[in-house]
Structure 1
Amino acid sequence: MKLQYLLYMTAALSLTSCNDAFLDRESQSINDGTFWNSVNDLRTYANAFYGILPGGVTNLGDEDSDNQVPFSPNSFLWGQYTVPTEGGSWSKSNWQNIRNLNYFMTHYQQVQASEEEINPFVAEIRFFRALEYFAKIQTFGDVPWLESELNVDSEELYGPKMARNEVAKKIIEDLEFAITWLPEKGSEEDNRLNKDIARHVLARVCLNEGTYYKYHDELGYSADVQGLLQKAADLTDELINSNHYEIYKTGNPGTDYYNLFVMEDKSNLKEAILYIDYASALREHNATHWLRNAKSGWSKDFADCFLYTDGKPASATSKAHVQNRTMAEEAQDRDLRFKQLILTSEDPYTMTSNGSITYITNDADFVSADCPTGYWVRKYFDPDPSQDIEAKCTIDGIAYRYAETLLINAEAKAELGTITQADLDKTINQLRDRVAMPHLTMEVGFTDANWPDWGYSVTPLLQEIRRERRIELAGEGFRFGDLKRWKAGKLLNNVQTYVGKYVQGEDGEFHQTIIYTNYTNPDCSYEAGKSRTWNDKMYLYPIPTGELQRNPNLLPQNPGWE
């Protein structure tokens, strides 16, 4: 599905307000007497929201997690975040899309046409509203549910928050409506949504909410955890059985995963449930060039989580396991995604138009101001000079990827206790086949001394499914959400999640790279400093105090932020 960048339509988006407070609203400025006259008006209005879709080229999306380490400490994770008075993710601009989507829901009935003509565009609007509200509950938990046009006198502006699980039900209703009324894959208009995209997103929502309620039992939500997980499994079964999609592999396990992301034209990529088209002078991005000076890199903890080619971790491998000090030692006999996600001396660091190629050959040179951990991100990094240009890259993106569909299916069924070897072969092992890794079996066959301590019992199979998700989706922005829904924030206390690789010093000894000089690692023979400590209040962001003062019905503040 070729999704060009759809610009916001001026008529549909001239919906403004006089300040940045959520509760302060002006009336609409669309001329309702002349706009809502045809189905094409609905199409035009819906066009405005296609910019909500993911750009599909995210490679540093895990800087707020244990996977990646930004140059400057993340203030939220390091306990330096203070409750704002205004703004943030509760700002007027962050509620604007919901307001504009609800404006459509109030007015679209004015169009005189059949249900079959109208409802596909209503489905698009409700799909986008679901995306907006899903982001809201992931950030804040309980939020007000608004579904109609409001004005300055509307009582709903000062209404209470709705419980997260009840908002989730509304999100599911919106996405189920979208599945009912969007066209089947292949019969949609050019550049528009289809049922499979809605199925995938709904499966994502159901897995997220089902696991969140399961592990956050302290919230006391009345939620059908089993029903949510079953819905995630059923929806992904539908996508798998449709035979519309497949994992990209050409028989080159050492390059296929990397090439999946850097191939310029993804219009025929069957792993893309939805790809995003980029083209010169029309829509370009900076995902490739930015990595050269991103001042960010993978963490030591992430580098250590890769299995060896015998399908076992460092604590159980039959491979000659060394100290993992040099990059060559770390990459040797590892899951081939290691070298496709992390730059090694085997792959180019720069290329020029005259054919000159450079490599990082001195192990210490992996650590630099541009990659303080030493673990350079390779996902979407293409040193080809035609793409390695600031804000001029035209490598297509993947908004929704079939690999995630398979991971949702496997995790949901493992959580339900219904997973079979056939399920693993259709899901996890499809990903492992791409990189020539041994299959995961129902009997994992080893115990990893370094499995995360989640604070609750996890089966070996689920441990490995979570590991597979961490590696396959690395950098794409899933990890912090996963840690939150698994109630696993305390994993961020591990010092290996914010330090880098070992580098040999002038004394001949190897020393671990410390990124934050004022946040040094007490386990690394360096001067002791401040370490990171998780606080459970960080599972949610706080509501700005100005909003609570304007609307006491939003109280209480999120736990721990009072």
Structure 2
Amino acid sequence: MKNKLKLLILSSIFSLTSCEDFLEKIPLDTVSEASFYQNATDLQAAVNGFYNDLPGWASTSVGFNILPDSNTDMALTENPSNRLSGLSYDIPNSATVSIWSWDEVREANWLIDHLDQAAASSDTEQILIDQYSGEAYFFRAYYYFELLTRYGDLPIFSEYFDNNDTEYVFAARDPRNEVVDFMLSDLDTAIDLLQSFPDISGHPRISREAAQLFKARVALYEGTWEKYHNGTPFGVVGSDGSRFLQIAADAAEAVMNSGVFTLHDDYSSLFNQVGLSGNSEVMLWRDYNSVTLNLSNVLQISWPNRCGYTKFAVDSYLCTDGDPISVSQLYNDGDNESLTTIENNRDPRLAALIMVPGDEVEFRDNVYTYWQYPDFNDTNTGNTGYESQKYRNINYYSDFQGYTEDTSRIIMRYAEVLLIFAEAKAELGTITQTDLNRSINLLRDRVDMPGITLGAITTDLNWPNYGHTLTPIIYEVRRERSVELMAEGFRSDDLNRWRAHTLFDGDQPRGAYYNDGVVNTVSISTPVDSDGFLLPFSNFGNFNFDESRAYLQPLPLDELQLNPNLTQNPGWEN
């Protein structure tokens, strides 16, 4: 029965790598382990379904897309995050598809257990069998990483099991560092099996370089987690994370040394493209086409989708002389108080992030429409006045009766490789000027910003208080990561691995300056602080993060009752 169920799941999932409607189903009355997983085509059909679990835009039937990184200190949506705001965050009574769910791991294990059934009829087919086998190992690590970031310690399930396998059903949680070693082992296997990006036909698929990037991402997460949670209930006894930090640096450097990817020449155009094939920076992505792929999104239809950036995010951007706004001679406080001047003398990535008067909103029938002021319609409390330029595709398509529904979504790009390399080396204390020149300074060169010079870093009077004493280079590496990857879905994990609750706990996120002649064009009821900046969440109070427990989510009560070998996460025991 479990064989039939699994094949039903895998054979009915939409293929992301072709323009065909659906994968072909095998009649269930003829299904057996011997009749499937026999060749490369079978393995491709099985692994394709896992791609649906990668980040993407919601379809038109869902409603709207919020900005990635919403509900953090960098961006807001209409309701504050439970974990940051201190709102109701109770221990769940039972597991669901999004809470302590092992369905995806079990599916990956099922496929991995059957990989050896596939036989190649040629060298070319063997390459494809290896490719899809590598993807299976990649996705098992991917699913484990999602669970790790939520729960920390996890049971290691290396093979498929059912309800009769009591060894697994009643398994205890393994220490998080051992879980990460298991994930890295899977990724090493994937790296050995996967093809290099240029050799893969039918993009987008997981490449060797994508697996190396993900290995670096996982290792950086665990390395910094162990470093900054050391000595707390969330840490790993006897480990400062340095082993994983070195793994992260090495994995990132392997991608750099491959020469396969380079930075796209125009930062601002990266995020509003329809189709990303051929982009030199993008390593993995999802395309949308409502006609040929039957996949569309509502990214532009109801923009700004009840979201906005915070003043803290905007203030993170340097001036064009490379100095922070707290000390730069190019910065005028008045510039920050008006959307008409806020981008003056600032890192060009700020102009690529937010909307200001005169920015293009729509191109229809050869006529441009220009942005005038923020949209505060309905209950749009998440709109801070700093609306998003990032991901905005201005082209109007009459077939869709609105903006394009086909804006692609980047999942992995080469800039993250450079940032991981620099951060890992900085955290290890081994970063050199050469390291900076081949990583972060390339990102700054792209937008004509001055590079970082070790030993000559300007002290920012407003460096963020992460709760730890940091070196100047770590402060600036974190700044670079924040502005380069703004609204790409990394911020929550970054705050957690840095143990950065001091940065936002007790704070009230702020938006744009209200009486600037732009924002106050629209009458709104949102209060302002003593300096005149919007307080979108004033009705909810300040962030109230409980650092004694909120870095990890609680396990469901029924799982603890059903399996006495499981233990609850710190702070959630009572």
Query: Is contact 1:210–1:228 with CA below 8 Å preserved after alignment?
Result: yes
Q: CA deviation at 1:91?
A: 4.5
Aligned counterparts of 2:197 and 2:307: Cα–Cα separation in 1: 38
Aligned counterparts of 1:12 and 1:232: Cα–Cα separation in 2: 42
1:377 aligns with 2:388: yes
Query: Is contact 2:222–2:244 with CA below 8 Å preserved after alignment?
Result: yes
Q: TM-score, normalised by structure 2?
A: 0.84
Aligned counterparts of 1:88 and 1:321: Cα–Cα separation in 2: 51
1:68 aligns with 2:69: no
Query: Is contact 2:72–2:81 with CA below 8 Å preserved after alignment?
Result: no
Counterpart AA for 1:539: Y
Match of 1:86 among 90, 94, 108: 94
Match of 1:554 in 2: 566
Counterpart AA for 2:318: L
Question: CA, structure 1 residues 54+320, in 2 after alignment: closer, same or farther (shift >3 Å)?
Answer: closer
Query: Is contact 1:13–1:100 with CA below 8 Å preserved after alignment?
Result: no
Match of 2:249 in 1: 233
Match of 1:213 in 2: 226
Q: CA deviation at 1:48?
A: 2.3
Aligned counterparts of 1:123 and 1:68: Cα–Cα separation in 2: 36
Q: CA deviation at 1:510?
A: 6.5
Aligned counterparts of 2:190 and 2:200: Cα–Cα separation in 1: 13
Query: Is contact 2:219–2:245 with CA below 8 Å preserved after alignment?
Result: yes
Deviation per CA, 1:380-408: give whole Å up to 9, x if none: 11222139866952223322100111100
- Percent identity over paired residues: 32
Match of 1:523 in 2: none
Match of 2:269 in 1: 259
Structure 1 SS opposite 2:392 = coil
Q: CA deviation at 1:475?
A: 0.5
Aligned counterparts of 1:153 and 1:298: Cα–Cα separation in 2: 50
Deviation per CA, 1:466-498: give whole Å up to 9, x if none: 0010011011110010010011022122635x2
Question: CA, structure 1 residues 232+8, in 2 after alignment: closer, same or farther (shift >3 Å)?
Answer: farther
Q: CA deviation at 1:354?
A: 5.6
Counterpart AA for 1:178: A
- Segments of structure 1 that go 5 or more residues without pairing to the other structure are 15-27, 250-255, 520-529
Match of 1:135 among 143, 146, 154: 146
Match of 1:77 in 2: 84
Match of 2:9 in 1: none
Aligned counterparts of 1:549 and 1:7: Cα–Cα separation in 2: 44
Structure 2 SS opposite 1:172 = helix
- Aligned-residue CA RMSD (Å): 2.9
Question: CA, structure 1 residues 557+440, in 2 after alignment: closer, same or farther (shift >3 Å)?
Answer: closer
Question: CA, structure 1 residues 391+322, in 2 after alignment: closer, same or farther (shift >3 Å)?
Answer: closer
Counterpart AA for 2:221: N
1:303 aligns with 2:314: yes
Aligned counterparts of 2:303 and 2:210: Cα–Cα separation in 1: 33
Aligned counterparts of 1:328 and 1:274: Cα–Cα separation in 2: 36
Counterpart AA for 2:262: E
Query: Is contact 2:322–2:450 with CA below 8 Å preserved after alignment?
Result: yes
Query: Is contact 2:304–2:388 with CA below 8 Å preserved after alignment?
Result: no
1:433 aligns with 2:445: yes
Aligned pairs for 1:490-529 within 5 A: 490-493=502-505, 495=507, 498-504=509-515, 511-519=532-540
Please say which of residues 123-132 and 95-104 is displaced more in the overlay.
Answer: 95-104
Query: Is contact 1:8–1:47 with CA below 8 Å preserved after alignment?
Result: no
1:244 aligns with 2:245: no
Aligned counterparts of 1:12 and 1:135: Cα–Cα separation in 2: 31
Query: Is contact 1:432–1:439 with CA below 8 Å preserved after alignment?
Result: yes
Match of 2:282 among 264, 272, 292: 272
Query: Is contact 1:9–1:47 with CA below 8 Å preserved after alignment?
Result: no
Aligned counterparts of 2:406 and 2:25: Cα–Cα separation in 1: 30
Q: TM-score, normalised by structure 1?
A: 0.86
Please say which of residues 163-172 and 343-352 is displaced more in the overlay.
Answer: 343-352
Aligned pairs for 1:89-488 within 5 A: 91=99, 94-113=101-120, 118-155=129-166, 156-191=168-203, 192-217=205-230, 218=232, 219-223=235-239, 225-249=241-265, 256-281=266-291, 282-286=293-297, 288-289=299-300, 292-323=303-334, 324-353=336-365, 355-360=367-372, 365=374, 369=378, 370=380, 372-386=383-397, 393-488=405-500
Structure 2 SS opposite 1:349 = strand
Q: CA deviation at 1:105?
A: 2.3
Counterpart AA for 1:138: T
Question: CA, structure 1 residues 328+148, in 2 after alignment: closer, same or farther (shift >3 Å)?
Answer: same
Aligned counterparts of 2:82 and 2:505: Cα–Cα separation in 1: 14
- Segments of structure 2 that go 5 or more residues without pairing to the other structure are 1-15, 59-64
Question: CA, structure 1 residues 389+178, in 2 after alignment: closer, same or farther (shift >3 Å)?
Answer: farther
1:42 aligns with 2:52: no
Structure 2 SS opposite 1:274 = strand
Match of 2:33 in 1: 32
Deviation per CA, 1:161-214: give whole Å up to 9, x if none: 111111101000000001111122322342343211111111111111111111
Q: CA deviation at 1:236?
A: 1.6
Match of 2:545 in 1: 534
Please say which of residues 215-224 and 196-205 is displaced more in the overlay.
Answer: 215-224
